[in-house]
Amino acid sequence: MADLTLIKRLAPLVRLHPQDPYKPASVPWFLPHVRMRFDRSWKKDRQILEAGRVNDATIVAQACEGQRSGGDRPSDFFLEIVGAEDTIRRGDLGAAVCYVHVLPWPDYEDIQYWFFYPYNGDMAPGPVSFAHEGDWEHVTLRVANGRVQRVFFSAHHDGRAFAAAECSFVDGHLVVYSAKHSHASYRKGGTQPRNNLPDDHTADGGPEWRTWERIEWVDPAPPGWLRYSGHWGQIGEFKDTTGPRGPSHQPAWFGDRELGLPVLPGDGGSGQDDPDDKQNPRGGGHPRDV
């Protein structure tokens, strides 16, 4: 069984891109700098909470047009940085917290390490911006008997899984490369091709985030913000220009299907291909947010 000692022993060493100004932060650091609004398609957005009033309790206690900002159902609330936007978007590596979620399976457990960035920079400057406020990323370590077996690196709306032997470790800590601006996770430095989409770029030489120094395991005592059902950034015209929903409202929270999920008693399958009608194999579920 995972405990805090094991979680810290395996926690990633994240190598941030040397040319990426947008660093990670923590949720408590971020919330005082945002206001909460409610998106109304083709209508003026509604102001819900002013900056300075968004906190761990209020973020999940709002209601508007039949929707609630806390709970299992995704909502159209969103957070928006106000004030010194350029400064807040740059985050604060010194205040960054790595959030941990553990999925216990019969023969192993998946330890998820979640990273929060206040801003996802523009990957390909041009007529369409791919930037958005609020950015959640994660990697998952599949562990059996205290040893890492496989690793999943999330990248944009999918990711890839690798055997532990194909990954790099420093003093037992998984090495994760954070892509410039997008913060997608990779196992090595260099250009990361994305077919017909803009390539990601990772590199050595930038700041290193020792995530084990500020770990918060959210399962024993879940923070209030974990139940926030809205978006962590403005809602744009496209999915790539919209802030994502939080970890517990993403399918990966219930297991990264790329790692392969066990079929449990009473479960009809191990994937989550259709977010609208699939349940996670452990019971309950959230629609996919991409």
Contact 45, 236 (CB under 8 A): no
Whole-number mean pLDDT of the chain?
87
Task: Give the span between the Cα atoms of 191 and 200, in whole angstroms.
Answer: 6
Task: Give the span between the Cα atoms of 175 and 72, in whole angstroms.
Answer: 33
Q: Model confidence at 96, in pLDDT bands (50, 70, 90)?
A: very high
Look up residue 197 and give its two tokens. Answer: 């989409």
Distance of CA 41 to the CA centre of its chain: 25
Phi and psi for 174 in degrees, rounded to 5?
-60, 135
Contact 121, 22 (CB under 8 A): yes
Q: Model confidence at 263, in pLDDT bands (50, 70, 90)?
A: low
Q: State pLDDT tens for residues 183-215.
A: 999 999 999 988 777 888 999 999 999 999 999
Q: What's the CA dihedral at 280, 244, 154, 94 to 10 degrees? A: -120
Of 268 and 19, more confident: 19
Of 164, 244, 122, 170, residue with least CA distance to 12: 170
Residues ≥6 apart with Cβ < 8 Å to 89: 22, 81, 118, 119, 133
Q: Which amino acid makes up residue 175?
A: V
Does residue 8 register a pLDDT over 60? yes
Domain ranges of the chain: 4-259
Angle at 1 between CA 155 and CA 102, to 5 degrees: 30
Contact 151, 139 (CB under 8 A): yes
Q: Model confidence at 287, in pLDDT bands (50, 70, 90)?
A: very low
- Partners of 160 in the β-ladder: 153
Residues ≥6 apart with Cβ < 8 Å to 161: 150, 151, 152, 153, 256, 258, 259, 260
pLDDT at residue 127 in the model: 59
Does residue 133 register a pLDDT over 80? yes
Phi and psi for 243 in degrees, rounded to 5?
-65, 140
Q: What's the CA dihedral at 29, 30, 34, 37 to 10 degrees? A: -130
pTM (two decimals): 0.89
CA distances from 251 to 111, 191, 256 (A): 15, 27, 8
Does residue 97 register a pLDDT over 80? yes
